[in-house]
Amino acid sequence: MDYALLIEERRSTRAFKKKGVTADICDAVKKYHDNECMRLVPEIQTECFIAGDDAKEALEGAAGYKEFLVGAPSYIVILSEPHEKALVNAGYITEDLSLKLNDMGLGCCFVTFTDSEAIKRALGITSDKEVCAILAFGYGERLKKKMHFNVLTMSKISAKEKQQYFAPKKGVFDLVYTDSFGNTDGVSEKIDFYGDPLWEPLLAASNSPSYMNRQPYAFVINDNRVVLISLPDEFTGEIDAGLNIGVVMMHFAAVARAYRGDALWTTGCCEVKDIPEGARVEGSFVI
């Protein structure tokens, strides 16, 4: 897959054609999950469950922004064994699956949820693993602004959240510091521009989907490492925060691979100066 291109062109799909996806496509998606998909922590066991037909009705009330659930012909549910990095790993896997779906001509959108057991009950999932991510998918309709209308009519959404929905993505220079958190001196010298082995992965990272488009993270370039910091965010709950981090790590790594072979994120690790209260070092990547 041409990850750089897929990432550049991706956007969430929230309106789908009625035409469902075939059993062959579901099999291909499951096989991709089982055998090929990029993983952050390969030893964490995950399962890919696909729900079709009545899933939208069943999930109503258990998943989606406030009371609005993206209506799709099918939903991918990623289940994971419990692990400190289960959510981040699931975000990583699910974003790779979402780019695979785009590559297959399908559209998709993450769907938020808070209660794994409620999702399992709703969909009749008997696995003892926990639900970590949900992706609505199918053939996309070309209906611009449909979701904007839905957001505006959602009763429980605050004006601040609505504004956020319309906010553009952060650019590379909004996300990157050098040496310490908040220091922008010398950033442009370090990352150059198009075609640069550091610029391209950071550009891919800046194109990441995130819960409510909040992008609550930043990168600090420290010597020979890029360090990813998660930032506290008043709107983003624990599950979405973990998934956001997995997604942005996946975008960075997928594009960095073109320059650095099989380079990977190291989770945990080093300290970064001046990070805000509530922020956390999520991992580092040798550059």
Ligand X SMILES: Cc1cc2nc3c(=O)[nH]c(=O)nc-3n(C[C@H](O)[C@H](O)[C@H](O)COP(=O)(O)O)c2cc1C
Q: Which positions touch ligand X (CB under 6 A)?
A: 11-12, 14, 64-65, 70, 109-112, 147, 209-213, 240, 243-244, 247
Show the 3-state SS of 211-232: HHHCCCEEEEEECCEEEEEECC
Question: What's the closest the beta carbon of residue 10 comes to ligand X, in angstroms?
Answer: 7
Q: Which residue is nearest to ligand X (CB)?
A: 209
**Closer CB to ligand X, residue 112 or residue 284?**
112
What would you report as the CA-atom Rg of the chain, rounded to the nearest whole angstrom?
18
**Closer CB to ligand X, residue 77 or residue 221?**
77
CB atoms within 10 A of CB 118: 15
**Closer CB to ligand X, residue 206 or residue 222?**
206
Question: What's the closest the beta carbon of residue 165 comes to ligand X, in angstroms?
Answer: 7
DSSP secondary structure letters along 83-135: -TTHHHHHHHHHHHHHHHHHHTT-EEEE--BS-HHHHHHHHT---SSEEEEEE
Torsion of Cα atoms, 34 then 40 then 41 then 46, to 10°: -30
**Closer CB to ligand X, residue 208 or residue 267?**
208
Question: What's the closest the beta carbon of residue 11 comes to ligand X, in angstroms?
Answer: 4
Question: What's the closest the beta carbon of residue 89 comes to ligand X, in angstroms?
Answer: 14
Residues 6+ apart with CB under 8 A from 67: 61, 154, 155, 156
**Closer CB to ligand X, residue 12 or residue 116?**
12
**Closer CB to ligand X, residue 62 or residue 221?**
62
What is the Cα–Cα distance from 127 to 255, expressed in whole angstroms?
A: 34
Question: What's the closest the beta carbon of residue 153 comes to ligand X, in angstroms?
Answer: 13
Tell which phi-psi region holds residue 41, choosing left (phi > 0), alpha (psi between -120 and 50) or beta: beta
Question: What's the closest the beta carbon of residue 227 comes to ligand X, in angstroms?
Answer: 21
3-state secondary structure of 140: strand
